[in-house]
Amino acid sequence: MKYKKLRENRFNRWFIIHLRYLLGAAFIPSGYTKLIGNRFTQISTDHPIGYFFEGLYQSGFYYNFIGFAQLLAGFLIMTQRLATLGNLIYFSLIVNICIITISLSFKGTWLITSLMLFSSTVLLIWDSQKLKPIFSSHSTRSSRAYTEPSVCWQLTGMVYFLLFISFSVFNFGAGSSGFVVGLIFITFSLSNTFRYLNHRKNKNADDSKAFPQ
């Protein structure tokens, strides 16, 4: 019952949608760097962290595959529609990354990756009704009982993905970077304004039906 109330709360749904955007965007820079075969860090191999990443870099196609997996997870989670699948991939990746940062004593980084792991876990709990059939022999239709992100949020996710990946693909100067940041802010403002107005419109329509003139 508490889970149902959490799922039906409008603010919670809004928060989950934007948490997906944030987590997806976090994987884009590092994923793209690995995919195109660039080194992730310039730390000397005399340091355990530099030694580890140099070994990972020298692993060949595996290094590129990790980058591809990060971009795929980021893309899927930002689509909203395929977010559950994306988060399953995301979770498997961030668990490994988090353990690595703790094991190698990354200063401060372990805290960020731990928060990312926690956030991914929150998303798994949010979509637990979709995962229940995996662990149960009984079929369930409970996943259909909750509202899914609208087309507006799905399109917004695609715009975010294109804008964030542009930071990695192109070498923007300070002015161009500011322009892209402005586009991200505009996208955020327009998508939220549109959804708010649409909610008000639907609410007024429901009120009219309930209390006809």
**Average pLDDT of every residue of the chain:** 86
Residue 137, exposed/middle/buried by CB under 10 A (0-12, 13-18, 19+)? exposed
Read off the DSSP letter of residue 103.
H
CB 25 within 8 A of CB 160: yes
The predicted structure's pLDDT at residue 213: 45
Residue predicted with more confidence, 93 or 165: 93
* Residue with token string 């002015």: 175
The confidence score (pLDDT) of residue 48 equals: 83
Report how far residue 205's alpha carbon sits from residue 50's, in angstroms, rounded to the nearest whole number.
60
Residue 88 domain-assigned? yes
* Arithmetic mean of pLDDT, 188-208: 78
In DSSP notation, 22-74 reads HHHHHHHHHHHHHHTT--S----TTSHHHHHHHHHHTTTHHHHHHHHHHHHHH
Q: How many domains does the chain have?
A: 1
**pLDDT for 98:** 94
Mean pLDDT of 58-75: 95
DSSP, collapsed to helix, strand or coil, labels residue 113 as helix
From the number of C-beta atoms within 10 Å of its C-beta (0-12, 13-18, 19+), residue 105 rates as exposed
182/144 Cα distance (integer angstroms):
37
Q: What was the pLDDT predicted at 96?
A: 95
Query: How confident is the model over 164-193, as a mean pLDDT?
Result: 81
Q: Is residue 90 part of a domain?
A: yes
Which tokens go with 12?
Answer: 């919670």
104-162 pLDDT, tens digit per residue, is 888 888 999 999 999 999 999 999 888 887 776 665 555 556 778 888 899 999 999 99
The answer as to whether 6 is a domain residue is yes
pLDDT at 177: 74
Q: Residues 9-64: pLDDT tens digits?
A: 889 999 999 999 999 999 999 999 999 999 888 888 888 888 888 999 999 899 99
Domain extent, residue 111, equals 2-149
pLDDT given for residue 13 in this prediction: 92
Give yes or no for residue 7 having a pLDDT over 50: yes
Answer yes or no: pTM beyond 0.85.
Answer: no
Q: Does residue 182 form part of some domain?
A: no
Does residue 145 form part of some domain?
Answer: yes
> In the prediction, which pLDDT does 211 show?
46
| Cα of 142 vs its chain's centroid, Å | 24
Q: Is residue 40 part of a domain?
A: yes
Collect all residues with Cβ–Cβ distance below 8 Å to 77 and sequence separation of at least 6: 20, 23, 24, 83, 86, 87, 90, 123
CA distance 164 to 5: 33
Residue 20 covered by a domain: yes
78 vs 107, higher pLDDT:
78
Q: Is 7 part of any domain? A: yes
